[in-house]
Amino acid sequence: MASRSAESLWQSATTTLNVGPSRIAASTVRPMARWASTTSASASSSKLQPLLPASAPVLPALPTTTSEAISLIQSSSTPQLGRYVLARLHSRNYLLHPRDVLTVPHLKGSPPPGTVLSLNRILQVGSRDYVIKAPEPSKNQSMPFGTQGDREVIPQEVVQCHLTVMEHTKSPMERKLLKKRRKGYKKTIEHKQGWTRLRVGDVFVGSEAR
């Protein structure tokens, strides 16, 4: 009886050992299949075409003369649309487009509404793709601290832009209290800042400016 019981235990142990590895093998087959699918997907993705072309596009040659640059700006824009100028007024640079309304500190002489003024300090003129710039000031030029110095500008034979005076106005009243401690001094200063509104006209380039 003892021998039979040991024999039965051995058979049951062998059956469990045979079943165990079969279950483990069956469970490990699925991850291997997933790994094989991912490797095939990565291999297929490596064969995809690049997003950018292999050869870079050839850029057009830059113009060498002012007349060529003017013709490029004229071909890509019109005086009423697609152009801009960078002009200097009141020691500040303003980026202006046709039909813009520019508000600047009160102009000297108070020109009446309707007066047409000409921009004579234009630093840049261009379109969406092309631009003509005035020469930059040299870095070796010695200028007093806090001053901008006199920059070269684009001549009026190349570009012309006019401003029309719309109105003269003032800001709301500003009151400032001046007071000195232990002196009995108090004073209220009232001030209204004057402003002039200008309408930007068309931007003419080259032969259009004549």
Return the pLDDT at 146.
43
Specify whether the CB–CB gap between 93 and 133 falls below 8 A.
no
C-alpha separations of 118 from 160, 161, 200 in Å:
8, 6, 10
CA distance 116 to 166: 10
What is the CB-side half-sphere exposure of residue 170 using CA atoms within 13 A?
A: 8
pLDDT in tens, 40-98: 555 555 566 666 666 666 667 778 888 888 999 999 899 999 999 999 988 889 999 99
pLDDT in tens, 91-140: 889 999 999 999 999 999 999 999 999 998 999 999 988 899 988 877 66
- Which residue bears the tokens 């142990």? 13
Residue at 82: amino acid letter: G
What is the CB-side half-sphere exposure of residue 182 using CA atoms within 13 A?
A: 0
Q: Is the sign of the CA dihedral 35, 39, 40, 42 positive or negative?
A: positive
Least confident of 19-28, 135-144, 151-160: 19-28
Specify whether the CB–CB gap between 104 and 163 falls below 8 A.
no
CA distance 162 to 120: 9
3-state SS, residue 62: coil
Quick check: pTM over 0.85?
no
